[in-house]
Structure 1
Amino acid sequence: MLKKLFRNYDYSLIVTTLLLTAFGVIMVYSASMVWSVMQLGQASSYIFKKQLFWCFVAIPAGIVGMLIPYKMYKALVKPITLLTILMLIFVLLFGKVSHNAQSWIVIGPIQIQPAELAKMTVIIYLASVFSNKQSFISDFKTGVLPPLVMILLIFLLITIQPDLGNGMIIAGISSVVILCSGMRTKHLMWLLGLAVTAIGALSLFLLTGQQASRFTAAYKPFTVADSHGLQLINSYIAIASGGITGKGLGQSIEKAGFLPEPHTDFIMAIVAEELGLIGVLFVILCLAYLIFKGFVIGIRCKDVFGSLLAIGISGLLAIQSIINLGAMTGLLPVTGVTLPFVSYGGTSLVMMMFTMGVLVNISSFVNMKRKKHKNKEERNVAHQAH
């Protein structure tokens, strides 16, 4: 069975993912050198070594995702969902506060962000539920409403940390999977109205003062240039000064104390400054390829669970990339969301690598089915010819 899996893996997904990860590790080193010394009082390679450690954890996680048959997640959906909810509750009670959000579980030198795990949990949960409910997906009360209650619980547990960025990603992933689940158009319209109402209520009652100020920083940064708008303004300077070919790897000026935490959610500004438009296009094209291939795998997969799982993974990659790049360019408020495979962040890298492993696993089953069908057709043609 393993030999068949290896023969049918989509190796373009593996190569692209590893290229992005390697690129990300290099850029984290470049972007964090000054920050490690000036802000943390450590060696210039301090953050780089931490990211390199997580990279060596992420690669085995990706291999595990590739080797485990994706259908096993459907059988394990209940314990996976329960464990995720317990971790989200635990982090609210005992988690570490950083950047005004209580989002991390600390185990010795290791910090884990349960919200990152929740993204994949939501995809597995919704793919499992909707694949089981296909016979009565048109019934809103029994086919649609129960899973929404569970997703709302996970969404609220993340949002009240507060972590609005990952909360929005959860909402976005859910929307993508629901849209592709076969639900009636009328029910989709109801859910759209409900989502708009929920976002409005969230803006009025749950947004903290600091989160609200991010809208001003995104759309009127020069009015708050000495505070919340500082990061975006320096991002603009980095992007503008990079040109087409950039200043050269390691030659950024903005990372020298001007752009706050340049190795995290604004790392693409450093990519633009050092490697120019060429570097930016490399990252965007790699991400676009992974997203496109994921949706193609989802469309080709005849198993509903596998199809929704692949589509959910591609949706996650697309939504998180859009939110990060939108914040970096001022199109969206800053939410602290990492750029997949490129930004600094251990839990994010491990989970993203695992999700890509799952996508590669689905692709192998799709390719096996397609080859089997093709061979069957060729035999039928040969039989008719004789």
Structure 2
Amino acid sequence: MIVRILKNIDFSILFAVLALSAFGTVMVYSASMVSGVMVYDVTPGYFFEKQLLSWGLGIGALFFGIIFPYKNYRRLFKLILLVTVILLGMVFVIGQTTNNAQSWISLPLIGRFQPAELAKMSLIIYLAAIYTKKSSYIQDFTRGLLPPMIITMLVVAMILKQPDLGTAVIALAVSGLIIMSSGLKKSHLLFMLGLVLVAAVTMYQFGLSEEQLSRFDGAYQPFEYADDAGYQLINSYLAIHNGGIIGTGLGAGVQKLGYLPEAHTDFIMAVIAEELGIIGVAVVIGLIALIVLRGFYVSMNSHDTFGRLLSIGVSGLIGIQAVINLGGLTGLIPLTGVPLPFVSFGGTSLLMMMFSAGILINIHAISKIKKNQEERAAA
């Protein structure tokens, strides 16, 4: 089976993932070599070496996703969700705080990682499996839609409690995409959209901290808060402006030299824009778009409901996270601290993104194998 899968893989997705992740590793070095010394008091290559290790492990995760038949996740979804909930719970007991969020834990043999990144993929697998199981009565709101939605909200609430608003929003948005693709009634969809709107307004009015609220000022009035909430966005604008069409050259950017906070994580695209210009930005966005669009193509050609919902979830995860990251550094939406898929520094994020891309490739390969079998049988 493995040999047949490897013969039928989607090389466009594979190329885009490997190219983006390799390019991202190089850009992490460019973005962090000075700030590593000046800000974090580490060696110039510290973040690059960590990202290079994560990239190597990510390649392993990618190929595991490719060769492990995706239907097995349908049998394992309860265990996957249980482990995720336990890890999210452990964050509140032994979690480590970074950037005012208690999101990280360290375990023997595994090291330091972020359970919220695992939770996004776990929710996709859970919802794809459970709504496949409930497909015959999906239009019954109480029996079909409501129970998985409650579990989803509990997981999202655990992420939000850390607090990690950006990851919680992504998890909720991707979950909503899968639910909307499951075959529910239009009236149920409108009702859910109304609930989301009410929840968003309530959260904005009563649920956000002063720091989180300040991000709205930083996004929409950055120059009035230039020394505080708008500082990051203004320096992002300067980086984009400095880059122009072709950029200042790889490694020659100025804003990463202590002016642009988190240059190797949230704002790595601003560094790309300054050093490689609009051309470099277009290539990165083009490769991400290729993965997302091919992922939706895989969904449309999947031979079963689980594969269809799973590929919709993975494609939506990559696309939504990219949009939120790019929206933050351009001031279209408030900053959320979300990494750019495959490119930003972050071991857990890179591992999960490459693993999820491997699942897309696996779904495509198995669907293609089945299609060829059906064509031979028909002949």
Tell me which interval the TM-score lies in, with the shorter structure as reference length. over 0.9
The one-character-per-residue Cα deviations of 1:24-47 (angstroms, maximum 9, x if unpaired) are 000000000111110122211111
Equivalences for 1:194-213 in 2 at 5 Å? Answer: 194-213=195-214
Give the C-alpha shift of residue 236 in structure 1. 0.2
Match of 1:91 in 2: 91
Q: Deviation string for 1:262-285 (max 9, x for gaps)?
A: 000100000000000110001000
The amino acid that maps onto 2:179 is I
Give the structure 2 partner of residue 133 of structure 1.
134
Take 1:15 and 1:171, find their aligned partners in 2: how far apart are those partners?
29
Distance 2:354 2:197 in 1: 32
CA distance in 2, matches of 1:198, 1:84: 25
Alignment of 1:302-341 (within 5 A): 302-341=303-342
**Could you tell me which amino acid in structure 1 is paired with residue 30 of structure 2?**
S
Distance 2:175 2:207 in 1: 20
Q: 1:29 corresponds to which residue?
A: 29
Matched letter for residue 68 of structure 2: I
Matches for 1:348-367 after TM superposition, within 5 Å: 348-367=349-368
Question: Does the 8 A contact of 1:35 with 1:261 survive in 2?
Answer: no
What does residue 39 of structure 1 align with? Answer: 39
Q: Give yes or no for the alignment of 1:74 onto 2:74.
A: yes
- Secondary structure of the corresponding residue to residue 342 of structure 1: coil
- Listed as ranges, the matches of 1:114-193 within 5 Å are 114-193=115-194
Is contact 2:35–2:256 with CA below 8 Å preserved after alignment?
yes
Q: Does the CA contact (< 8 Å) of 2:6 and 2:67 recur in 1?
A: no
Give the distance between the partners of 1:77 and 1:214, measured in 2 at CA: 36
Q: Distance in 2 between matches of 1:135 and 1:307?
A: 16
Structure 2 match to 1:104 = 104
- Structure 1 residue 160, shift from structure 2 partner: 1.1
Provide Cα deviations, 1:203-230, integer angstroms capped at 9, x if missing partner. Answer: 2232111011000000000111011111
Contact 2:35 2:258 in 1 (8 A): yes
Q: How many residues align?
A: 378
SS state at 1:50 partner = helix
Distance 1:30 1:130 in 2: 44
SS in 2 for 1:106: strand
Could you tell me how far apart the structure 1 residues matched to 2:20 and 2:142 are? 43
4+ long deviations beyond 4 Å? none
Partner Cα separation in structure 2 for residue 25 and residue 91 of structure 1: 28
**Contact conserved, 2:88 with 2:115, CA < 8 A, in 1?**
yes
| Structure with larger Rg | 1
- Mapped to 1, the partners of 2:104 and 2:330 lie a distance apart of 27
Q: Which moved more, 1:269-278 or 1:60-69?
A: 60-69
Give, in angstroms, the shift of residue 133 of structure 1. 0.7
What letter corresponds to residue 63 of structure 2 in structure 1? I
CA distance in 1, matches of 2:7, 2:44: 42
Distance 1:93 1:319 in 2: 30
Inter-partner Cα distance in structure 2 for 1:26 and 1:225: 30
Secondary structure of the 2:33 match is helix
Q: Which runs of 5+ in 2 are unaligned?
A: none
The AA in structure 2 aligned to 1:71 is K
What secondary structure does 2:97 align onto? strand
After superposition, give the CA deviation of every residue in 1:88-107 in whole Å (9 maximum; x if it has no partner).
11102220111111100024
The residue aligned with 1:384 is none
- Deviation for aligned residue 1:345: 0.4
For residues 196 and 93 of structure 1, the distance between their equivalents in structure 2, rounded to whole angstroms, comes to 33
Answer yes or no: is 1:50 the counterpart of 2:50. yes
Counterpart-to-counterpart distance in 2, 1:267 and 1:301: 34
Inter-partner Cα distance in structure 1 for 2:284 and 2:175? 25
Q: Which runs of 5+ in 1 are unaligned?
A: 380-386
Between 366-375 and 217-226, report the one with greater CA deviation: 366-375
2:248 alignment partner, SS class: coil
Contact 2:159 2:165 in 1 (8 A): yes
Structure 2: distance between partners of 1:205 and 1:89: 24
Q: Is the 8 A contact 2:28 2:264 kept in 1?
A: yes
Task: Confirm or deny: 8 A CA contact 1:160 1:206 kept in the other structure.
Answer: no
Render the CA deviation track for 1:234-269: whole Å, top value 9, x for unaligned. 000000110110000000000011111200010000
Q: Distance in 2 between matches of 1:318 and 1:233?
A: 25
Q: CA deviation at 1:153?
A: 0.2
Map of 1:160-309 to 2, 5 A cutoff? 160-309=161-310
- The Cα of 1:19 is off from its aligned counterpart by 0.3
C-alpha distance in structure 2 between counterparts of 1:7 and 1:106, whole Å? 38
CA distance in 2, matches of 1:235, 1:157: 31
Deviation of the 1:372 alpha carbon: 2.4
Structure 1 equivalent of residue 9 of structure 2: 9
CA contact (8 A) 2:219 2:332 kept: yes
Contact 2:247 2:275 in 1 (8 A): yes
CA–CA separation in structure 2 for the residues paired with 1:317 and 1:132: 25
Structure 1: how far apart are the matches of 2:94 and 2:204?
Answer: 26
SS class of match (1:246): coil
What SS does the corresponding residue of 1:102 show, helix, strand or coil?
strand
Cα distance in 2 between the residues matched to 1:314 and 1:211: 28
Q: Distance in 1 between matches of 2:201 and 2:86?
A: 28
- 1:42 and 1:163 map into 2 onto residues whose CA distance is 26
Q: Provide the rounded CA distance (Å) in 2 between the counterparts of 1:179 and 1:56.
A: 36
Question: Deviations 1:284-308 (Å, cap 9, x if unpaired)?
Answer: 0000000000000001102000100
Structure 1 vs Structure 2 CA RMSD: 1.1
